[in-house]
């Protein structure tokens, strides 16, 4: 299955998650939303910085699949293999939210 490329070294929570679910949890964790099993202080990383870290783990130190993109309108993550589109003109990614380029909001 293309939506499960991540290979875990261990899976303490026995979660049967798609790549999108794992990366979305990591994205939210970096922004301060800890999963129930993580009892540490919360991080406070911006959406754009959090996705820059994900991008590093996709492109430079490739442990995460690079088909997970951040919508440049609503900032939600999505699997570009199954939804959304890429605007070559602007170099922007959009999920299936109501956004179109006319409603483009720069969240950076
Ligand atoms: Zn969106």
Please give the distance, rounded to the nearest whole angstrom, from the Cα atom of residue 54 to the centre of ligand 1: 17
Ligand 1: centre distance to CA 10 (Å): 32
Q: Encode pLDDT of 20-61 as tens digits.
A: 999 999 999 999 999 999 999 999 999 999 999 999 999 999
Which is more confident, 90 or 26?
A: 26
Res 107: pLDDT: 45
Query: What is the CA(107)–ligand 1 centre distance, in A?
Result: 11
Spans of all domains in the chain: 19-103
Q: What's the CA-to-centroid distance between 25 and ligand 1, angstroms? A: 17
Residue 13: the pLDDT is: 87
Q: From ligand 1's centre to the CA of 16, what distance in Å?
A: 25
Q: What is the dihedral of CA 13, 19, 23, 24, to 10 degrees?
A: -90
3-state SS string over 18-69? CHHHHHHHHHHHHCCCCCCCCCCCCCCCCHHHHHHHHHHHHHCCCCCCCCEE
Task: Give the dihedral sign, CA 108/28/85/96.
Answer: negative
């Amino acid at each position: 299955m293309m939506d499960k490329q991540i290979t875990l070294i261990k899976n303490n929570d026995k979660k049967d998650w798609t790549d999108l679910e794992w990366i979305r949890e990591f994205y939210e964790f970096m922004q301060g939303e800890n999963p129930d099993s993580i009892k540490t202080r919360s991080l406070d990383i911006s959406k754009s910085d959090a996705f820059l870290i994900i991008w590093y783990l996709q492109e430079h130190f490739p442990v995460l699949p690079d088909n997970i993109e951040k919508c440049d309108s609503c900032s939600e993550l999505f699997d570009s293999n199954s939804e959304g589109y890429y605007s070559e003109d602007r170099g922007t990614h959009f999920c299936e939210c109501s956004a179109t380029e006319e409603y483009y909001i720069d969240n950076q």
